[in-house]
Amino acid sequence: ELKVEQNPLFLSMQEGKNYTIYCNYSTTSDRLYWYRQDPGKSLESLFVLLSNGAVKQEGRLMASLDTKARLSTLHITAAVHDLSATYFCAVDITGALNFGKGTSLLVTP
Amino acid sequence: GAGVSQTPSNKVTEKGKYVELRCDPISGHTALYWYRQSLGQGPEFLIYFQGTGAADDSGLPNDRFFAVRPEGSVSTLKIQRTERGDSAVYLCASSFSAGAGELFFGEGSRLTVL
């Protein structure tokens, strides 16, 4: 059974600081996705990582994938309040995505 | 349509009743997925379709849950004899093809079983 684990589950950080969210998964896969969810809203796709060593950046967020370590990271640079949300990683091994529990991020002044 | 459309957005029902939730995927997307999300949790996979057929229904919790996609477009998730534990947000997503890229999610149908 595929397990997808994120840490931390909760993160409070000050504006301007940097931090990394980790996503570990238990079964070989080279397809990993990051999503953002705002309270009461649906999921918004952030990144699609489809090969070992893939790195993608959008604004203050950068995602990477190490398939050998079964690890993806989501790095936040110089956080701003607008980044407050819940971030999910998801792994595809059967055609459907298996999600982690999410990291709830709060960026404070 | 421009995005994945789900109806109803909210449904309140009594324990034991039958419920149908509808999903209209993005035009041209052949894969359609159903997930369930409880408060504070990640989406939990239920079932996905590639075309008209259910490619993987391993996430359906029991035989009270059933989904169809008869013409390869709109899908209906059917829940019989609802229980309070079925209360959650039911999310539908679609993609161009299964395993071919990101899923695009609808706004969800919030089900409350009293």
Written as six digits, the tokens of B98 are: 């299964």
Test the A interface: residue of B102, B109, B110 with most A CBs within 10 Å? B102
| Ranges of chain A whose pLDDT falls below 70 | none
| Cα end-to-end span (Å), chain A | 41
Q: What is the pLDDT of residue B2?
A: 82
Cα(A26)–Cα(A8) distance, rounded to whole angstroms? 17
The answer to whether the Cβ–Cβ distance between A102 and B55 falls below 8 Å is no
What confidence tens digit (pLDDT) does each residue in B17-73 have?
Answer: 999 999 999 999 999 999 999 998 999 999 999 999 999 999 999 999 999 999 999
Residue B16 distance to chain A (closest CA, Å):
27
Question: Residue A86: how many CA atoms within 13 Å on its side-chain side?
Answer: 21
What gap in Å lies between CA B53 and CA A40, rounded to an integer? 31
Position A94 scores a pLDDT of 81
List, for residues A53-73, the tens digit of each pLDDT value: 999 999 999 999 999 999 999
Average pLDDT, chain B: 95
Identify the band that residue B80 occupies on the pLDDT scale cut at 50, 70 and 90: very high
- B45·A88 Cβ contact <8 A: no
Token pair of B91, please?
């999310």
pLDDT recorded at residue B8: 98
Is the per-residue pLDDT at B1 higher than 80? Answer: no
The chain-wide mean pLDDT, for chain A, equals: 94
Which one of A46, A97, A103 makes the best mutation probe of the B interface by having the most chain B beta carbons within 10 Å? A97
**Chain A contact for B92, CB < 8 A?**
no
Please tell me which of the candidates B42, B101, B102 has its beta carbon nearest to residue A102. Answer: B42
CA–CA separation, B81 and A36 (whole Å): 33
| Residue B109: predicted pLDDT | 98
Q: What is the structure's pLDDT at B99?
A: 78
Question: What percentage of residues in chain A have a pLDDT greater than 90?
Answer: 83
Q: Does B41 touch chain A (CB under 8 A)?
A: yes
Q: What is the mean pLDDT of residues B1-25?
A: 95
